[in-house]
Structure 1
Amino acid sequence: MWKKLLNIGVAFTCLGLCSSPVLAGTVLERIKETGVIRAGYRDDTPPFAFRNEQGKPVGYSVDILELIQAEAQKQLNTPVTLEFVRINPSNRFEQIQDGSIDIECGSTTVTWEREKFVDFTVSYFASGTQMIVNRGSGFANSDNLTGAKVGVIPNTTNEKAMKIYASSATLVPVKSEEEGWAMLQKGDLDGFAGDGILLQALKKQSDNGQDYEIVPEFPYMIESYACTVPEDESQWRGLVNKAIVKFMQGVTTDTPSAIDIYERWFGQNGNTPYPIETMADYFQGIINGYEWIIIDERY
C-alpha cells in the first residue's frame, strides 16, 4: 500500500515538474533562441510608423522598437534583430494573441476592454480624438454636427469617442487614415475623426493642408499610446518597460540620444511638431513610479 502511494506521489511530482517549466515557451526564451523580435507595425500612421522613400519602416514607434531591441540584446547577452510585420487596426490584436508577433508599438491606445486579451506596456505618448474638417465649417462645436458625415475607423477608441460626444453625426466606416482623409478631400465626408497627432501629420503633408483645420481645440477624449504584448509575459513586458522608461527619463533629463529621437519626429523641423515640454511633463508622471535608471551616454 505504501509503495503504491509512493509511486503515485512520484508520478504527480514528475507531472508537476514537467508541465510547469518556469521559462519554457516564453517570448524571451524564443527571442534568445532565434535572435529575432517579431514587431508589428502600421505603414499609414506618420509620425509613428510608415515607410520612407526606400520602403523601410520608420517613425517614432519604430525608434522605440529599436530601443527595445537594444535592451533585449543587453539583457539576453546575444545579438537580436527586428523582424517587421505589417499589421492594421483590424488584425493587430489577433496577431499578438496567436503569436504571430511579439510586440506592437503603433498608435495603439489603452482600454479596459483590450486589457482582457492583451497586455499593455507603459505609455510612451498621449493624444486624443479630434476631427479634421474644412476650414470654417463650424464643426468645432459638436452641437453643430447633426447630419454631418464623419469618417471613423471601426472598432477604435476614436469611433467610441464620436459615438459618445458627437452622437448627432452620421458615422461612416473607413479602412484607414489615408482613406478617410481622401474621402474628406473629395467631399464624400464632412469630417474625419482620428488621433489628433495623426490628423496633424495628414494636414502637414498635404499640399492644400491650409484649407483644413483640426477641431475641437481640446480633444473629445484623451488617449494614451502604449505597446501591446502577449498576456502574462511579465519578463518580456518588464524588459520593454525598462527600455521605454529609460527613453522617457532621457527626454526629461535632456539626454542627447533621447532628445534626438523626439525632435526627429515632433521637433519644429520634424514630421509633426509637438511641444517637448508638454510631453516631458507627461513622461515625468509615468517615470515617477519606477526606479531611477542610470543612463550612461558615451560618444
Structure 2
Amino acid sequence: MKKLFRLVSVIISSLALLVVLSACGSKALSAQNVVTRAKQSNTITWGVKADTKLFGLMDVKNGQIKGFEVDLAKAMTKQILGPKGKADFVQVTSSTRMPLLKNGNIDAIMATMTITPEREKQVDFTRSYFDAGQSLLVKKGSSVKNVKDLNKKGATVLGVVGSNSVQNVAKFAPKAKVLQLSDYAQAMTALRSGQGEALTTDNGILAGMAVENPGYVLVGGSFTKEPYGIAVNKGQTEFKADLNDALTKVEESGEYNKILKKWFGNVPGLNYKGMER
C-alpha cells in the first residue's frame, strides 16, 4: 500500500508539473495574435471612452456606450470580420486605457488618443481616423480668450490625468497652474465650481461639453494638432494592417462621412464638412 501511495503521489506531482510547464509556455493574452483570436470568437474588443459626449458616452437608460468612435469601431469590425462580426466595448479613461491594452483586456484603443512619439514607444498606431486640435473651454464672458491669457495672474487650467493636453499647456502657458482630474466629467464639474479659469483638451471633446453645458464656450481656436489613432500592442502587425485597411474601406464607402455628420453635423463652432474624408 505504501508503494502504491508513493507511486500515485509521483504521478500526481508529475501531472502538476506538466500543467505548470504548459502554462508557463503559453503566451500571455496580450501577446496572442489578435486577428486569430478575433476570427475564432468573431469579436473585437475595443477600449472606448464613456464620459466624452460625441465620441463615447454612456447612455444611462440602457447602459450602452454611444458616440462617433463607437459607431466607427462597429463599422470597422464588420469590415474585418464580416457582417456578423461583433464589436465589444470596454470603458476606459485616459489613465486606464494603456494598462488595459497591455494586459490584454482589450484588443484596441479607440478613445480620443493622440498619436505622439512618446506613446509610439509603447504601442503601435494606425493612421489617423480623426484630426483634432487642442482648445480651451471657458465660462461665457471670461477674460481668457486664448491660451496666452492663461499666463496672466497664474491662471489655473483644468485637465485630465493621462492626457497630453496638460503637457501642451506647459509649453504654451508655462506660468499657468495645472489641476488634473481623473476624467472629463470631474474636470467639467471643477470648471463649473470655479476651481479653474479654463478646461483644456481637444476641440471635439470640448464641443461636446459645450453642448451639454450652456453658458460655456470654446475660445482661442486650436493651438495644436491632435491626430487620433487606434492603438494596438506592439507586435500586432497583422491586426494593425487590417485596421488600416478597414478604415480605408469605411471612408471610401461613404460610411465614415455619414457617421461624422451624425455626431458632429449640428455642433456649433465645428466645421464638420472640413473633417470629411
Q: Counterpart of 1:59? A: 67
8 Å CA contact 2:109–2:232 kept in 1: the answer is: yes
Deviations, residues 139-189 of structure 1 (Å, cap 9, x unaligned): 124443231111111332201110100111111111111111111111121
Q: Counterpart of 1:277? A: 273
Instruction: Tell me how far 1:35 sits from its aligned partner.
Output: 2.1
Deviations, residues 229-263 of structure 1 (Å, cap 9, x unaligned): 1112121111111111222234xxxx3x4432121
Does residue 88 of structure 2 align to residue 83 of structure 1?
yes
Does residue 272 of structure 2 align to residue 265 of structure 1?
no
User: Could you tell me how far apart the structure 1 residues matched to 2:244 and 2:58 are?
Assistant: 25
Taking a change above 3 Å as real, the CA distance of residues 171 and 71 of structure 1, as seen in their structure-2 partners, is same
User: Could you tell me how far apart the structure 1 residues matched to 2:160 and 2:261 are?
Assistant: 29
Does residue 182 of structure 2 align to residue 175 of structure 1?
yes
8 Å CA contact 2:133–2:225 kept in 1: the answer is: yes
User: Could you tell me how far apart the structure 2 residues matched to 1:41 and 1:272 are?
Assistant: 24
Q: Counterpart of 1:43? A: 50
SS at 1:123's partner residue? coil
User: Could you tell me how far apart the structure 2 residues matched to 1:272 and 1:62 are?
Assistant: 22
4+ long deviations beyond 6 Å: none
Structure 1 residues without counterparts, runs of 5 or longer: 1-18, 284-299
Does residue 159 of structure 2 align to residue 155 of structure 1?
no
Query: Which among 207, 214, 218 is matched to residue 214 of structure 1?
Result: 218
Q: TM-score, normalised by structure 1?
A: 0.76
Taking a change above 3 Å as real, the CA distance of residues 41 and 71 of structure 1, as seen in their structure-2 partners, is same
Q: Compute the RMSD of aligned alpha carbons.
A: 2.3
Letter in 2 for 1:57: I
Deviations, residues 111-164 of structure 1 (Å, cap 9, x unaligned): 001001111111111111111112232212444323111111133220111010
Query: Which among 97, 106, 128 is matched to residue 101 of structure 1?
Result: 106
8 Å CA contact 2:136–2:218 kept in 1: the answer is: yes
Mapping of residues 231-242 of structure 1, within 5 Å: 231-242=234-245
Mapping of residues 110-149 of structure 1, within 5 Å: 110-145=115-150, 146=152, 147-149=154-156
Letter in 1 for 2:270: Y
SS at 2:106's partner residue? coil
User: Could you tell me how far apart the structure 2 residues matched to 1:273 and 1:27 are?
Assistant: 39
Percent identity for Structure 1 against Structure 2: 25
8 Å CA contact 1:102–1:229 kept in 2: the answer is: yes
Instruction: Tell me how far 1:277 sits from its aligned partner.
Output: 2.8
Instruction: Tell me how far 1:104 sits from its aligned partner.
Output: 1.3
Letter in 1 for 2:234: E
SS at 2:187's partner residue? helix
Does residue 249 of structure 2 align to residue 246 of structure 1?
yes
Letter in 2 for 1:67: A
User: Could you tell me how far apart the structure 2 residues matched to 1:247 and 1:34 are?
Assistant: 22
Q: Counterpart of 2:191? A: 184
Letter in 2 for 1:248: E
Q: Counterpart of 1:14? A: none
User: Could you tell me how far apart the structure 2 residues matched to 1:197 and 1:180 are?
Assistant: 16
Letter in 1 for 2:91: R
Matched residue count: 247
Deviations, residues 47-88 of structure 1 (Å, cap 9, x unaligned): 1111223221111101111112101223xxx94322211111
Instruction: Tell me how far 1:33 sits from its aligned partner.
Output: 1.8
User: Could you tell me how far apart the structure 1 residues matched to 2:57 and 2:271 are?
Assistant: 22
